[in-house]
Amino acid sequence: MYRRDDGAQGRNWLSGRGKLRISTAGTEQRDNRPVGIVDSGLGGLTGLRAFRALLPEENVIYFGDSGRVPYGEKSLKQLRVMARQNLDFLQSLGVKAILVACGTLSSNAGDLLDACSVPTVGVLRASVDWMSRLKGTEPLAVAATAASVASGAYQRELEGAVPGREIVAVACPEFVPLIESGHCDASDPLVQEAVERSLQKVKESRAEVLLLGCTHYGLIEQAIKDCLGPQVQLVSAAESAAAALASLLLRSGRTGGSGETRFYTSGDPAAFAEAASLFCGEAVTTEMVRFVQPAPIPEEDD
Protein backbone atom coordinates (compact mmCIF):
# COMPACT_ATOMS: atom_id res chain seq x y z
CA MET A 1 0.00 0.00 0.00
CA TYR A 2 1.37 3.40 -0.98
CA ARG A 3 1.27 6.22 1.53
CA ARG A 4 2.07 9.80 0.66
CA ASP A 5 5.21 11.31 2.17
CA ASP A 6 3.68 14.61 3.32
CA GLY A 7 7.00 16.38 3.19
CA ALA A 8 7.27 15.69 -0.52
CA GLN A 9 3.84 16.94 -1.57
CA GLY A 10 3.17 20.41 -2.92
CA ARG A 11 6.50 22.03 -1.97
CA ASN A 12 9.44 23.69 -3.65
CA TRP A 13 11.78 20.78 -4.30
CA LEU A 14 14.75 23.15 -4.53
CA SER A 15 14.31 23.92 -0.86
CA GLY A 16 13.79 27.62 -0.85
CA ARG A 17 17.11 29.17 -1.91
CA GLY A 18 15.49 30.95 -4.87
CA LYS A 19 12.65 29.75 -7.02
CA LEU A 20 12.98 28.23 -10.44
CA ARG A 21 12.74 30.76 -13.24
CA ILE A 22 11.88 29.84 -16.79
CA SER A 23 12.17 32.01 -19.85
CA THR A 24 8.90 33.06 -21.48
CA ALA A 25 10.50 34.35 -24.67
CA GLY A 26 9.06 32.76 -27.79
CA THR A 27 6.26 32.91 -30.29
CA GLU A 28 2.53 32.67 -29.69
CA GLN A 29 2.15 29.69 -32.03
CA ARG A 30 0.43 26.73 -30.36
CA ASP A 31 1.62 23.16 -30.66
CA ASN A 32 -0.94 20.81 -29.14
CA ARG A 33 1.12 17.65 -29.54
CA PRO A 34 1.93 15.94 -26.22
CA VAL A 35 5.16 16.01 -24.26
CA GLY A 36 6.60 12.59 -23.40
CA ILE A 37 7.98 11.79 -19.95
CA VAL A 38 9.72 8.48 -19.30
CA ASP A 39 11.20 6.85 -16.21
CA SER A 40 11.97 3.38 -14.96
CA GLY A 41 8.77 3.43 -12.94
CA LEU A 42 7.18 5.76 -10.39
CA GLY A 43 10.00 8.26 -9.85
CA GLY A 44 9.24 10.30 -12.94
CA LEU A 45 5.85 11.17 -11.46
CA THR A 46 7.77 13.81 -9.48
CA GLY A 47 8.89 15.28 -12.81
CA LEU A 48 5.34 15.14 -14.17
CA ARG A 49 4.01 16.97 -11.12
CA ALA A 50 6.71 19.65 -11.39
CA PHE A 51 6.11 20.11 -15.12
CA ARG A 52 2.34 20.35 -14.61
CA ALA A 53 2.90 23.14 -12.05
CA LEU A 54 4.80 25.15 -14.66
CA LEU A 55 2.75 24.45 -17.82
CA PRO A 56 -0.61 23.01 -16.72
CA GLU A 57 -2.19 23.19 -20.19
CA GLU A 58 0.33 20.88 -21.83
CA ASN A 59 -0.74 17.42 -22.94
CA VAL A 60 1.53 14.74 -21.46
CA ILE A 61 2.22 11.09 -22.17
CA TYR A 62 3.89 9.39 -19.20
CA PHE A 63 5.60 6.02 -19.58
CA GLY A 64 6.66 4.21 -16.41
CA ASP A 65 8.80 1.20 -17.31
CA SER A 66 8.11 -0.64 -14.04
CA GLY A 67 8.25 -4.02 -15.77
CA ARG A 68 12.03 -3.65 -16.14
CA VAL A 69 12.84 -1.88 -12.88
CA PRO A 70 15.36 -1.37 -11.30
CA TYR A 71 17.49 0.23 -14.01
CA GLY A 72 20.36 0.78 -11.59
CA GLU A 73 21.33 -2.90 -11.71
CA LYS A 74 21.50 -3.10 -15.52
CA SER A 75 24.72 -3.13 -17.55
CA LEU A 76 25.78 -0.19 -19.72
CA LYS A 77 24.91 -2.16 -22.86
CA GLN A 78 21.44 -2.95 -21.55
CA LEU A 79 20.79 0.63 -20.46
CA ARG A 80 21.67 2.01 -23.86
CA VAL A 81 19.33 -0.45 -25.58
CA MET A 82 16.58 0.48 -23.13
CA ALA A 83 17.16 4.19 -23.73
CA ARG A 84 16.72 3.73 -27.48
CA GLN A 85 13.59 1.64 -26.95
CA ASN A 86 12.02 4.20 -24.62
CA LEU A 87 12.79 7.13 -26.90
CA ASP A 88 11.45 5.23 -29.92
CA PHE A 89 8.26 4.31 -28.07
CA LEU A 90 7.49 7.91 -27.13
CA GLN A 91 8.31 9.16 -30.61
CA SER A 92 5.91 6.57 -32.06
CA LEU A 93 3.16 8.31 -30.07
CA GLY A 94 3.86 11.65 -31.74
CA VAL A 95 5.43 13.64 -28.91
CA LYS A 96 6.91 17.07 -29.55
CA ALA A 97 9.56 16.85 -26.81
CA ILE A 98 10.78 14.32 -24.24
CA LEU A 99 11.77 14.53 -20.60
CA VAL A 100 13.92 11.55 -19.61
CA ALA A 101 13.11 11.63 -15.89
CA CYS A 102 15.66 8.93 -15.12
CA GLY A 103 19.12 9.69 -13.79
CA THR A 104 20.41 6.26 -14.77
CA LEU A 105 19.56 6.73 -18.46
CA SER A 106 20.68 10.36 -18.44
CA SER A 107 24.09 9.42 -17.07
CA ASN A 108 24.66 6.34 -19.22
CA ALA A 109 23.07 7.35 -22.52
CA GLY A 110 23.35 11.12 -22.69
CA ASP A 111 24.63 10.99 -26.27
CA LEU A 112 21.50 9.10 -27.32
CA LEU A 113 19.33 11.78 -25.74
CA ASP A 114 21.32 14.44 -27.62
CA ALA A 115 20.85 12.56 -30.91
CA CYS A 116 17.08 12.14 -30.52
CA SER A 117 15.10 13.62 -33.41
CA VAL A 118 12.82 15.56 -31.05
CA PRO A 119 14.07 17.95 -28.34
CA THR A 120 15.02 15.86 -25.31
CA VAL A 121 15.92 16.93 -21.78
CA GLY A 122 17.63 14.64 -19.27
CA VAL A 123 17.80 15.13 -15.53
CA LEU A 124 21.60 15.06 -15.28
CA ARG A 125 22.55 18.27 -17.08
CA ALA A 126 19.52 20.19 -15.87
CA SER A 127 20.22 19.41 -12.22
CA VAL A 128 23.96 20.08 -12.54
CA ASP A 129 23.12 23.45 -14.08
CA TRP A 130 21.05 24.28 -11.01
CA MET A 131 23.78 23.07 -8.66
CA SER A 132 26.32 25.30 -10.43
CA ARG A 133 24.40 28.37 -9.23
CA LEU A 134 24.79 27.53 -5.55
CA LYS A 135 27.34 29.48 -3.53
CA GLY A 136 29.63 28.10 -0.85
CA THR A 137 32.74 26.00 -0.35
CA GLU A 138 31.49 22.92 1.49
CA PRO A 139 31.22 19.56 -0.33
CA LEU A 140 28.34 18.88 -2.70
CA ALA A 141 26.76 15.43 -2.55
CA VAL A 142 24.78 13.43 -5.08
CA ALA A 143 22.68 10.34 -4.37
CA ALA A 144 21.92 8.16 -7.36
CA THR A 145 21.59 4.58 -8.54
CA ALA A 146 24.59 2.26 -8.63
CA ALA A 147 24.76 2.50 -12.42
CA SER A 148 24.71 6.30 -12.34
CA VAL A 149 27.46 6.52 -9.75
CA ALA A 150 29.56 3.87 -11.51
CA SER A 151 29.32 5.82 -14.79
CA GLY A 152 30.97 8.83 -13.14
CA ALA A 153 28.75 11.15 -15.18
CA TYR A 154 27.32 13.13 -12.27
CA GLN A 155 30.78 13.50 -10.75
CA ARG A 156 32.36 14.70 -14.01
CA GLU A 157 29.59 17.17 -14.77
CA LEU A 158 29.62 18.59 -11.24
CA GLU A 159 33.42 18.87 -11.15
CA GLY A 160 33.29 20.81 -14.41
CA ALA A 161 30.46 23.06 -13.23
CA VAL A 162 31.83 23.83 -9.75
CA PRO A 163 35.62 23.37 -9.95
CA GLY A 164 37.40 23.14 -6.63
CA ARG A 165 34.50 21.82 -4.60
CA GLU A 166 34.57 18.28 -3.28
CA ILE A 167 31.94 16.01 -4.85
CA VAL A 168 30.59 13.15 -2.73
CA ALA A 169 28.69 10.53 -4.74
CA VAL A 170 26.76 7.75 -3.03
CA ALA A 171 24.96 4.82 -4.63
CA CYS A 172 21.60 3.97 -3.05
CA PRO A 173 20.54 0.62 -4.57
CA GLU A 174 17.97 -0.05 -1.84
CA PHE A 175 15.79 2.97 -2.56
CA VAL A 176 14.12 2.17 -5.88
CA PRO A 177 12.99 -1.39 -4.99
CA LEU A 178 11.55 -0.08 -1.72
CA ILE A 179 9.66 2.74 -3.43
CA GLU A 180 8.36 0.57 -6.27
CA SER A 181 7.05 -1.91 -3.70
CA GLY A 182 5.08 0.80 -1.90
CA HIS A 183 7.45 1.83 0.89
CA CYS A 184 7.55 5.63 0.74
CA ASP A 185 6.40 6.91 4.12
CA ALA A 186 8.98 8.60 6.35
CA SER A 187 7.70 6.65 9.38
CA ASP A 188 8.28 3.28 7.69
CA PRO A 189 11.17 1.53 9.52
CA LEU A 190 12.34 -0.10 6.28
CA VAL A 191 12.67 3.32 4.65
CA GLN A 192 14.34 4.86 7.68
CA GLU A 193 16.92 2.08 7.95
CA ALA A 194 17.72 2.11 4.22
CA VAL A 195 18.15 5.89 4.20
CA GLU A 196 20.40 5.82 7.26
CA ARG A 197 22.62 3.12 5.76
CA SER A 198 22.82 4.68 2.34
CA LEU A 199 23.48 8.28 3.36
CA GLN A 200 26.02 7.73 6.13
CA LYS A 201 28.82 8.94 3.84
CA VAL A 202 26.89 12.13 3.11
CA LYS A 203 26.46 12.82 6.82
CA GLU A 204 30.15 12.27 7.46
CA SER A 205 31.16 14.57 4.59
CA ARG A 206 29.33 17.59 6.06
CA ALA A 207 27.94 18.37 2.62
CA GLU A 208 25.71 21.44 2.42
CA VAL A 209 23.69 20.26 -0.57
CA LEU A 210 22.44 16.86 -1.69
CA LEU A 211 21.29 16.33 -5.27
CA LEU A 212 18.61 13.66 -5.54
CA GLY A 213 19.98 12.30 -8.80
CA CYS A 214 17.30 9.64 -9.20
CA THR A 215 13.76 10.92 -9.54
CA HIS A 216 12.46 8.11 -7.33
CA TYR A 217 14.29 9.57 -4.35
CA GLY A 218 11.97 12.57 -4.13
CA LEU A 219 9.22 10.18 -3.06
CA ILE A 220 11.10 9.53 0.21
CA GLU A 221 12.32 13.10 0.60
CA GLN A 222 10.98 13.52 4.13
CA ALA A 223 12.87 10.46 5.33
CA ILE A 224 16.04 11.87 3.74
CA LYS A 225 15.50 15.22 5.44
CA ASP A 226 14.91 13.50 8.77
CA CYS A 227 18.20 11.66 8.35
CA LEU A 228 20.38 14.58 7.24
CA GLY A 229 18.78 17.44 9.15
CA PRO A 230 17.61 20.90 8.06
CA GLN A 231 21.14 22.15 7.40
CA VAL A 232 21.37 20.09 4.20
CA GLN A 233 19.60 21.52 1.17
CA LEU A 234 17.98 19.00 -1.14
CA VAL A 235 17.94 19.61 -4.90
CA SER A 236 15.54 17.61 -7.07
CA ALA A 237 16.76 16.43 -10.45
CA ALA A 238 13.11 15.99 -11.44
CA GLU A 239 12.13 19.60 -10.82
CA SER A 240 15.30 20.94 -12.41
CA ALA A 241 14.62 18.96 -15.59
CA ALA A 242 10.93 19.90 -15.64
CA ALA A 243 11.90 23.57 -15.55
CA ALA A 244 14.44 23.06 -18.33
CA LEU A 245 11.81 21.39 -20.53
CA ALA A 246 9.24 24.10 -19.82
CA SER A 247 11.77 26.78 -20.74
CA LEU A 248 12.65 24.95 -23.96
CA LEU A 249 9.00 24.77 -25.02
CA LEU A 250 8.38 28.42 -24.25
CA ARG A 251 11.49 29.63 -26.06
CA SER A 252 10.77 27.57 -29.16
CA GLY A 253 7.06 28.35 -29.37
CA ARG A 254 6.01 24.74 -28.88
CA THR A 255 3.52 25.30 -26.06
CA GLY A 256 -0.12 24.31 -26.32
CA GLY A 257 -2.59 21.66 -25.23
CA SER A 258 -5.64 20.95 -23.12
CA GLY A 259 -4.03 19.52 -19.97
CA GLU A 260 -4.63 15.86 -20.87
CA THR A 261 -2.43 13.14 -19.36
CA ARG A 262 -2.12 9.63 -20.79
CA PHE A 263 -0.36 6.93 -18.78
CA TYR A 264 1.48 3.84 -19.99
CA THR A 265 3.29 1.25 -17.88
CA SER A 266 5.09 -2.02 -18.47
CA GLY A 267 4.22 -3.04 -14.92
CA ASP A 268 0.97 -3.56 -13.03
CA PRO A 269 -1.58 -0.93 -14.16
CA ALA A 270 -3.53 -1.11 -10.89
CA ALA A 271 -0.45 -0.50 -8.72
CA PHE A 272 0.68 2.26 -11.05
CA ALA A 273 -2.72 3.97 -10.94
CA GLU A 274 -2.72 3.91 -7.14
CA ALA A 275 0.73 5.50 -6.98
CA ALA A 276 -0.02 8.04 -9.71
CA SER A 277 -3.17 9.20 -7.90
CA LEU A 278 -1.17 9.70 -4.72
CA PHE A 279 1.95 11.36 -6.06
CA CYS A 280 0.42 13.45 -8.88
CA GLY A 281 -2.48 14.84 -6.88
CA GLU A 282 -5.02 13.83 -9.51
CA ALA A 283 -7.38 10.87 -9.74
CA VAL A 284 -5.92 8.10 -11.91
CA THR A 285 -7.94 4.93 -12.38
CA THR A 286 -6.69 1.59 -13.66
CA GLU A 287 -8.73 2.14 -16.82
CA MET A 288 -6.66 5.26 -17.54
CA VAL A 289 -3.38 3.30 -17.54
CA ARG A 290 -2.44 1.35 -20.65
CA PHE A 291 -0.25 -1.73 -20.31
CA VAL A 292 2.80 -2.00 -22.59
CA GLN A 293 4.60 -5.32 -22.92
CA PRO A 294 8.16 -4.89 -21.61
CA ALA A 295 10.56 -4.68 -24.55
CA PRO A 296 13.25 -7.38 -24.67
CA ILE A 297 16.77 -6.43 -23.61
CA PRO A 298 19.99 -8.31 -24.38
CA GLU A 299 21.63 -10.61 -21.89
CA GLU A 300 24.87 -9.16 -20.53
CA ASP A 301 27.01 -11.65 -22.43
CA ASP A 302 25.22 -11.22 -25.79
> What angle do helix axes 123-131 and 237-252 make, rounded to 10 degrees?
100
Q: What are phi and psi of 232, to 5 degrees?
A: -100, 120
Closest of 104, 62, 83 to residue 214, by C-alpha: 104
Q: Which residues contact residue 113 at a Cβ distance below 8 angstroms, ignoring those fewer than 6 apart?
A: 83, 87, 98, 100, 105, 106, 120, 121, 122
Sign of CA dihedral 91, 95, 98, 101: negative
Annotation marks residue 214 as catalytic: yes
Q: Which member of 102, 172, 184, 227 is catalytic?
A: 102
Q: How far apart are CA 114 and CA 104, in angstroms?
A: 15
Q: Which member of 172, 184, 214, 227 is catalytic?
A: 214
Annotation marks residue 280 as catalytic: no
State the catalytic residues. Answer: 102, 214
